[in-house]
Amino acid sequence: MAIRDIVIFPAPLLRLKAKPVQVFDKTLQTLIDDMFATMRDAPGVGLAAPQIGESLRVVVVEYTDDEREDAKTKKYVLVNPEIVQKSEETVSDVEACLSVPGLAGEVERHESVTVRAKNRFGKPIRLKASGWLARIFQHEIDHLDGVLYIDRATQVFQPSAEEMEQIKD
């Protein structure tokens, strides 16, 4: 696993619609492993392939839904993901992004979503998510369409170092 450089806004690659994955080979497996290593090193909770310079529809997420130290971490790999269902209910919360360092913004997202994708081996999966996980999925899938959270934010601000620690990327 290699830690790759994170592409920083305003790099044009972040504004492109990523290409669907066609082949589930060793190269894809290496990309996914590198994405997890890069995300952990940053650190963040989600990463889309365009954020490390690969215009492919791949997202990785590593998420703990409990604040306890012994809480189990869940890992997700979404290849060619699409949101197929969204709740009518929306929630506004603060987001940040590894590709937009030093800023945060208030973003309204759907409270729950259903995502259809393939796993890292090409097997179809369907995930229902709510709360923070739904927000992460929406944020990362936006990256695949060239959309950044700053495009959706009602306000963007520069948080203090202490505030930034509170914000989950």
The reported pLDDT for the residue numbered 65 is 74
The reported pLDDT for the residue numbered 167 is 72
Helix extents (H) in 20-123: 26-41
CA distance 166 to 145: 27
Q: Is 163 assigned a catalytic role?
A: no
Catalytic pick from 69, 88, 89, 140? 140
Using one digit for the tens of pLDDT, what is the confidence trace for 26-58? 999 999 999 999 999 999 999 999 999 999 999
The reported pLDDT for the residue numbered 71 is 76
Tokens of 151: 């495009």
Going by their DSSP bridges, the two strands 90-97 and 124-130 should be labelled as unpaired
Are residues 120 and 96 in contact, defined by beta-carbon separation less than 8 angstroms? no
Q: Using alpha carbons, select from 153, 142, 151 the residue that is nearest to residue 106.
A: 153
The reported pLDDT for the residue numbered 68 is 63
Task: Tell me the CATH number for domain 12-166.
Answer: 3.90.45.10
The reported pLDDT for the residue numbered 117 is 98
Positions in the chain short of pLDDT 50: none
